[in-house]
A and B are shown apart, each in its own frame.
Chain A
Amino acid sequence: MPTTTPDIAPITGRVELFRSCLVSTQYPGVEAATKWLFEQLGVEYIVNPDQTCCTGLGYYTDVVSFPTTVAVAARNACVAVEAGHPIQAYLCSTCYAINKKARDVLEEPAQRRRTNDVLRKVGREYDDAVASEVRHHHVLEILWSRHPSIRGLVKRRLSGLKVATHPACHYCKVFPDEVLGDGEDLMLPEDLLEPTGVEKTGYYPEKGTHCGAGFRQRFVNPGMSMAVTREKLRRLAERGVDVCVHMCPNCHIQFDRFHDVISQTAGEDYPFVHLHVQQLLALALGADPDRVCGVEAHSQDLEPLLERIGARERVSVAAVGGSAVAAAPSVPV
């Protein structure tokens, strides 16, 4: 299947890897794998302790108002620029959408004035300099901008591994004109993985359906939430995928944590697992499944997959002091 994601120039500016509350507390390996990939691909980045959570879960459960959210986003832009790393790179698609929405709203003079009245209390200002410097990118866009380098870095070929994308709504649908590719049939994750030899799934029925989480719905209307998730799991099973890759931790929670629950409740078999795009890519490039990808945090049993792609043998090699990456042969699957 040919690559359809549009090529973009390398994003060479200085990056602030924007920490995500859900990645930090649920899948910290996603952050570690992203850093590891940035290092492999020569992306200059920092993690900024002055950055705060975007308010996303509070905003989308309607306990945080929009003025608070915009002020927090404006402040985070200020601290990224202050640190000299104005390219905010998002691990979470909700962080991505919220900060872009704030960017647009802050272009309106009345809204910027109102927000700056708040920021003045903390000695900050979202001014033209900040607005012109700060940039917003999903982490996958940063990686894609360097994708020609990936092929030469592959240590574990993923040949025969069938991969499907769960496109994150807050990446694809909030700013559809800014998506890298077609938001209704996003191929960015699979195209990023192409040099590893995966078999791409492309479009499948329900591809554009959301994960089911719906913020409050997961807790308040679990029946509706699970019904949505189940539809997607069934369609993915029909297509015979091995791994469904994610680009948003909230989607990842919905699928990883509920996959077996729904399977048992519905009496249906969904023989595949969920990983973040960065985790699967890092594994293909030779990363350690535990110390880089943090697979222990997942609810699904990932061991069969790790064995299949030859990522488990490396742990024992590393345990006796060998170089985990260099010592391992490429394992065709």
Chain B
Amino acid sequence: MIGLPERAELDQLANPYAALAANAFASPAGDDSGLLARILSDPRMQHHAAGLLSCLQCGICTSGCPAARFGDFSPREISRRALLGDPTLLEDDSVWLCCYCYTCQSRCPRGNSVAVINQIIRGMQVESGYGLRHVALFTAWTEQFYATGLGGWPHQLLDAIADAWGDRWWNLVEHLDEMRDELGVGSLYPSERAMGELRAIMDETGCRERLQPAEA
């Protein structure tokens, strides 16, 4: 069965609905993935675990969600399926529509955060390999960050961005160093000491390996 937080932990969360909700959702049909427990135990859920467990499906998250308004996405459904530990979330493409605006989190009367749940699920999808297709456009960011200490735009899109943003933006790209000099804002890059430490942290936390497809 799925591993829920210890009752004592739930009590500490001081949410009168948490225990009730834990009972209500403790035995969802068809969950053998432990997915709910994995979501609840993610450190980012620290202030939202009780909120997820007490989600009453009111839909306020969805009413304010830009991806629900302009795209085919329902944070309310994500919350429901997370509570059920629905393993199909691990191959669900709709979580990639979330804009990370946190409107759902800030308005949830229970303190749930679908934005955080989406990010946890996306991370699981990346780590299983399924989600790599969704981040392919952005993996160069990590390499550039490792090399220079600064990220960058998806290089595959640079021409399209330049087309859309026009000459003034190209002018900025080409003359950024001079503009920065005139403004007296110093070097664009962190110190060598900072870069050494940053690379060590990225190596130690497996930042780049995480984005490599697993060997067949």
- B11-19, B50-58, B80-88, B178-186 - the one binding chain A: B178-186
Verify A210–B101 contact, CB threshold 8 A: yes
Closest to B152 in A: A25
Take A32-B184, A64-B142, A299-B168 as given contacts and tell me if A51 and B194 are in contact as well, using a CB distance cutoff of 8 Å. yes
Residue B147 interfacial (CB < 8 Å): no
**Chain A contacts for B202, CB-based, 8 A:** 68
The segment from A8-16, A54-62, A189-197, A270-278 found at the interface with B is A54-62
Q: B151: which of A21, A28, A32, A75 is its contact (CB, 8 Å)?
A: A21
Q: Is there contact, CB below 8 Å, between B138 and A63?
A: yes
Collect the chain A residues with CB atoms within 8 Å of residue B126's CB: 62-63
Complex: A58 Cα to B197 Cα, angstroms: 18
**Contact partners of A62 in chain B: CB under 8 A:** 119, 122-123, 126, 131, 134-135, 138
Are A66 and B194 in contact, CB atoms less than 8 angstroms apart?
Answer: no
B149 located at the interface, meaning its Cβ lies under 8 Å from any Cβ of chain A in the complex:
yes
Contacts of A298 in B (CB 8 A): 168
Residues of A within 8 A of B130 (CB): none
A57 and B152 CA atoms in complex are apart in Å by: 9
Q: Is A66 in contact with B150, judged by CB distance below 8 angstroms?
A: no
Contact with B along A202-215 (1 / 0, CB 8 A): 00000011101111
For A213, what are the chain B residues with a Cβ–Cβ distance below 8 Å?
99
Q: How far is the CB of B154 from chain A (nearest CB, A)?
A: 6
Pick from B46, B165, B172, B185 the residue with the most CB of A within 10 Å: B185
List B contacts of A257 (CB < 8 A).
164-165, 169
Q: Is there an interface contact between A52 and B151, defined as CB atoms closer than 8 Å?
A: no
Interface size, B (range): 35 or more
Question: Does A124 belong to the interface (CB within 8 Å)?
Answer: yes
Which residue on chain B has the smallest CB distance to residue A213?
B99
CA distance A156 to B186 in the complex (A): 28
- Please tell me which stretch of B22-30, B32-40, B64-72 contacts chain A, meaning at least 4 of its Cβ atoms lie within 8 angstroms of it: B64-72
What's the dominant secondary structure at chain B's contact region?
A: helix
For residue A230, give the distance in angstroms from its CB to the closest CB of chain B. Answer: 10
Please name all residues of chain A whose beta carbon is closer than 8 Å to the beta carbon of B43 when the two chains form the complex. 66, 70, 105, 108, 111
A188 at the interface (CB under 8 A from B): no
Any B CB within 8 A of the CB of A296: yes
- A21-B150, A291-B183 known; A228+B46 contact, CB < 8 A: no
Chain A residues lying within 8 Å of B183, measured Cβ to Cβ, are: 28-29, 31-32, 291-292, 294
Residues of B within 8 A of A124 (CB): 197
A67 at the interface (CB under 8 A from B): yes
| In the bound complex, CA of A121 to CA of B105 (Å) | 35
- Give 21 A-B contacts (CB < 8 Å), ordered by A residue: A24-B180, A29-B179, A32-B185, A52-B197, A57-B151, A61-B138, A62-B126, A63-B141, A64-B142, A68-B207, A70-B43, A108-B43, A122-B196, A170-B102, A176-B106, A184-B106, A210-B103, A214-B99, A216-B96, A228-B66, A291-B183
Name the 9 nearest CB pairs between A and B, nearest first: A214-B99, A173-B106, A210-B101, A173-B102, A32-B183, A49-B191, A61-B138, A122-B197, A68-B205
4 A-B pairs besides A62-B119, A105-B46, A261-B165 with CB distance below 8 A are: A61-B138, A62-B135, A169-B100, A228-B70
